[in-house]
Structure 1
Amino acid sequence: MPLTGPALPVRRVRADAREPVDAGAWFARVPAVAQVLRDGWDLGAATVLVGENGAGKSTLVEALAMAFGMGAEGGSTGARGVTRASESALWRHLVLERGAGAAKRGFFLRAETMHGFFTYLEDNPSPADLAFHEMSHGESFLALAEDRMRGRGLYVLDEPESALSFTGSLALLAHLRRLVAGGAQVVLSTHSPVLAALPGARVWEVGGWGLRETRWEETDLVLSWQGFLAGPERYLRRLDAE
């Protein structure tokens, strides 16, 4: 039967039965991670993770990127830049079910390690590299995404909004939308309701319950921002009372 569209680089993430997780591993006690190890996790052409700090979003996208062959601190498949190893061993316990004939290229943009990644690029230059350290924080993030995320492949982003203004977030959203429309796969962890609105994305809310697929407009992220913008004084009074 002919394919109806480009095969996904990663259709599903599941536990590797050959590499059982130690019961004492901290990441196995995170509800979202435990759910993936138990039930697996189906990905779409665009997948968005939202949720509070510490819920497991970054742990999951980091492990996905590493299992695909990307560096823990960001970069393309095969990147080896390391400043301080702090990643979990979760990736060693995962199997990625890939689409037949899918693209093998990928890139991981991780906000918290981008300064070190730019230094890694300076220390290992290629003629086509941009001078990322000479740009503003937000400009460098957008330039990196547009320069390294091209064509079909798996593109993983962890909280890129940390460097971006509202208009910068819209610019990144437009780029991600074009990537997906062109047959790429995007997996995004974010606290930004703008980026979480990636058209056509499967939105997964992460929390004490684990992972649950949710409509964008029904996520706590969107409802909280709507409530605050409609009446910030209510939230400020609550803070004063604490």
Structure 2
Amino acid sequence: MLIHRAHVPVHLQPKDLSKWPFTVAGVRQLISDGLEFMAPITFLVGENGSGKSTLIEAVAGALKLDSHGGQAGGKYAPARPNTELGEILRLDASVEGMREFMGRRQARRGFFLRAETAFSMMNSFSRVPGYWSADTATMSHGEGFMAVFNEMFKRPGIYLMDEPESALSFVSTLELASLLQTLADTGAQVICATHSPILTAIPGSEVLEIDEHGFRSMPWEDLSLVGKRRRYLDNPARFLGVRAGDQDRRQA
């Protein structure tokens, strides 16, 4: 494990927790208790607004990765301020982790995929030495994502990902799952925010479910995102009928 804990030291903890992102339950728990990484692959799951992306971006900020996304040691857009949580977050790392992330910026190994800026970042680095040879501007979003993943996910380091499955088909998501498992087997560490039951099923990974109470480790089969999809696939017509009925009642 390169990083085994994220925490906010007592002397850096904010006095005022009444403003975002400190109003988010998962962020408050991180500040009060810290977050332990127990497996080479850690998934953060939860509904929109639960704080998954906020936590991922804070870890990126603590690692001094470009908040726009991209490879450790590289930048493609004007720098923007670190997030408030990223400024105060600290990471406990192994000896190897310290060697990877505390040395020269150009020598650091890792990658950050940020959902909102991913496509722009990919086009900026296409055919740049040290990145990927494919011209992602000529590809669909899904093809571009997989071209980047296949080129960049090849060596140990830390990989932070915010909903990497968003542009992928079922088959491509399976391919990404295989890439992540291979990375973990070679000594890399992955921290990923996702809505994908496919990715979260990777053997040996830890899944932290985030809700209004904070975050907790959950078995894959007990995840809300797994149960809801199962119920939908078992009876789509009934599920959609219930949702439509709820909407009609709200509009009445």
- The answer to whether TM tops 0.5 is yes
In the alignment, the residues of structure 2 paired with residue 235 and residue 80 of structure 1 have an alpha-carbon distance, to the nearest angstrom, of 45
Q: Residue 160 of structure 1 corresponds to which residue in structure 2?
A: 164
In the alignment, the residues of structure 1 paired with residue 209 and residue 10 of structure 2 have an alpha-carbon distance, to the nearest angstrom, of 26
**Total equivalences in the alignment:** 234
Q: Residue 35 of structure 1 corresponds to which residue in structure 2?
A: 29
Post-superposition offset of 1:78? 2.7
In the alignment, the residues of structure 2 paired with residue 154 and residue 15 of structure 1 have an alpha-carbon distance, to the nearest angstrom, of 20
Post-superposition offset of 1:143? 1.4
Alpha carbons of 1:121 and 1:18: their partners in 2 closer, same or farther (altered >3 Å)?
Answer: farther
TM-score (norm 1): 0.90
**Aligned amino acid, residue 117 of structure 2:** T
**After the TM superposition, which residues 220-231 of structure 1 pair with which residues of structure 2 at under 5 Å, given as runs?**
220-231=224-235
Quote the sequence identity (%): 36
**Aligned amino acid, residue 39 of structure 1:** D
Structure 2 gaps, min length 5: 102-108, 248-252
Post-superposition offset of 1:205? 0.3
In the alignment, the residues of structure 2 paired with residue 25 and residue 13 of structure 1 have an alpha-carbon distance, to the nearest angstrom, of 21
In the alignment, the residues of structure 2 paired with residue 224 and residue 187 of structure 1 have an alpha-carbon distance, to the nearest angstrom, of 23
Q: Residue 94 of structure 2 corresponds to which residue in structure 1?
A: 99
In the alignment, the residues of structure 1 paired with residue 244 and residue 78 of structure 2 have an alpha-carbon distance, to the nearest angstrom, of 40
Contact kept? 2:209, 2:218, Cα under 8 Å: yes
| 2:3 equivalent to 1:10 | yes
When structure 1 is superposed on structure 2, of 131-140 and 18-27 the one drifting more is 18-27
Give a deviation string over 1:193-215, Cα, whole Å, max 9, x none: 00111211111001101001100
Contact kept? 2:61, 2:83, Cα under 8 Å: no
Post-superposition offset of 1:87? 6.5
Q: Residue 129 of structure 1 corresponds to which residue in structure 2?
A: 132
When structure 1 is superposed on structure 2, of 218-227 and 21-30 the one drifting more is 21-30
Q: Residue 5 of structure 1 corresponds to which residue in structure 2?
A: none
**Aligned amino acid, residue 26 of structure 2:** A
TM-score (norm 2): 0.86
SS in 2 for 1:49: strand
Post-superposition offset of 1:83? 6.8
SS in 1 for 2:50: coil
Contact kept? 1:19, 1:92, Cα under 8 Å: no
Contact kept? 2:27, 2:51, Cα under 8 Å: yes
When structure 1 is superposed on structure 2, of 229-238 and 75-84 the one drifting more is 75-84
Give a deviation string over 1:171-226, Cα, whole Å, max 9, x none: 00000010001111111111110011121111100110100110011000000000
Structure 1 gaps, min length 5: 1-7
Post-superposition offset of 1:84? 9.0
SS in 2 for 1:193: coil
In the alignment, the residues of structure 2 paired with residue 64 and residue 17 of structure 1 have an alpha-carbon distance, to the nearest angstrom, of 18
In the alignment, the residues of structure 1 paired with residue 131 and residue 82 of structure 2 have an alpha-carbon distance, to the nearest angstrom, of 29
Q: Residue 56 of structure 1 corresponds to which residue in structure 2?
A: 51
When structure 1 is superposed on structure 2, of 196-205 and 70-79 the one drifting more is 70-79
Post-superposition offset of 1:85? 4.7
